Amino acid sequence: MANHVLLDNISHKDLKVNVSRGEKWGDAISCTTIFPNEFTKVQASQPIVFRKHPHTGQFEALALFGFENNENLLLDKQGNLTLSYLPLSIQRQPFLIGQQTQYSQGVPEQSLVVHIDLDSPRINKEQGEAIFLEHGGNSDYLNHIAQVLNTLHSESQALPAFFEPLLALNLIEAFSIEYQQKNAEKVTVGGFYTINQNTLNSLTPEQLQNLQQSGYLQAIYMVIASLEQIPMLLSKKWAQQ
């Protein structure tokens, strides 16, 4: 269970964060949220798929690590996770962004604040990166985290603008991943969406140019290229059975 609290340099002054990556640190996850600016790096090693967020129903992008709950096929035999690029949504752990209402001369203003998940196995007092300096100032690590959280916030604000033209151009189609277990049982994992390549190929030069100018065309091609990583993940799944 998560236990999110507002980070402060008094209650949390001695806390350290273990930044190792692996199963015991909470990285046994089958996917993580990513953003279009990360697609180029992610596609080199994981499939990128879209899905509807379970609560909002809005489209989001995921880097896929496995096909079942808590299945991360990229963990090595020792349970360590080595990724050439670590998505921001993993880098931020165990911190997250929160909103706070502050009143400036009686006018409510929303400001962004840092929260920490005190139940994260990464948190301890002995090992890892210190969050605060001895006298209460922010460590470089915390400054880095603040930057990551800021980027995540602005990327998630910009996400609807990415999906909007894709949906308007009918570029998004549903798909499912089917595979066969070693025991011959067939499994279908559905609820995924990707780019419809036929539609993409039939766009007019003007439509393509618009996508290119907004920077989305490259992201689109990265999503298509990343699908080649699905067989790679499946072969890892087979190897484990």
Partner 1 sequence: MATSTINHIIIIGSGSAGWLSAGLIAAQSHLTHNAKVTLIESPNVPTLGVGEGTWPTMRQTLKTIGISETQFMRECDASFKQGSRFDGWCHDSHKGKNNEYYYHPFSLPVGYQNLNIAPYWFSQHQTVSFSHAVSSQTYLCDHNKAPKTHLHSDYQSQANYGYHLDAGKFAQLLNRHSVDKLNVNHVIAHVDDVINDEDGYISAVKTREHGIITGDLFIDCSGHHGCLIDKHYQIPLLTQDHILFNDRAVAVQVPYANDQQEIVSYTKATAQDTGWIWDIGLQTRRGVGMVYSSKFESTQGAKDKLISYLKTTQSDLDTSELTIRELKFTPGYREQFWHKNCIAIGMSAGFIEPLEASALVMVELGLNNLLANFPTHRNALPELAKRFNLQCHYRWQRIIDFLKLHYVLSTRTSKYWQAHRAQSATPQSLLANLALWQYQSPWLNDFDRSQEVFSAASYQYILYGMKHLPQFPEMKMPAGVIKHFTNNQQDAKHTLAKLPTNRQLLNHIQKFGLQPI
| Contact residues: partner 1, CB under 8 A | 52, 54, 56-59, 167, 170, 172-174, 191, 193
Shortest separation between residue 105's beta carbon and partner 1, angstroms? 30
Comparison of 136 and 160: residue with beta carbon closer to partner 1: 160
- Of 136 and 191, which has the nearer Cβ to partner 1? 191
- Tokens encoding 50: 């879209």
Which candidate, 182, 224, 207, places its Cα nearest to that of 40?
A: 224
Residue 127's alpha-carbon distances to 53, 110, 195, in angstroms, are 35, 34, 43
Question: Which secondary-structure segment (H or E) carries 16?
Answer: strand 16-17
Q: Please, which residue, 67 or 163, has the CB nearer to partner 1?
A: 163
Strands 123-124 and 16-17: antiparallel
59 and 219 Cβ atoms separated by less than 8 Å: no
- Residue number with CB closer to partner 1 (23 or 173): 173
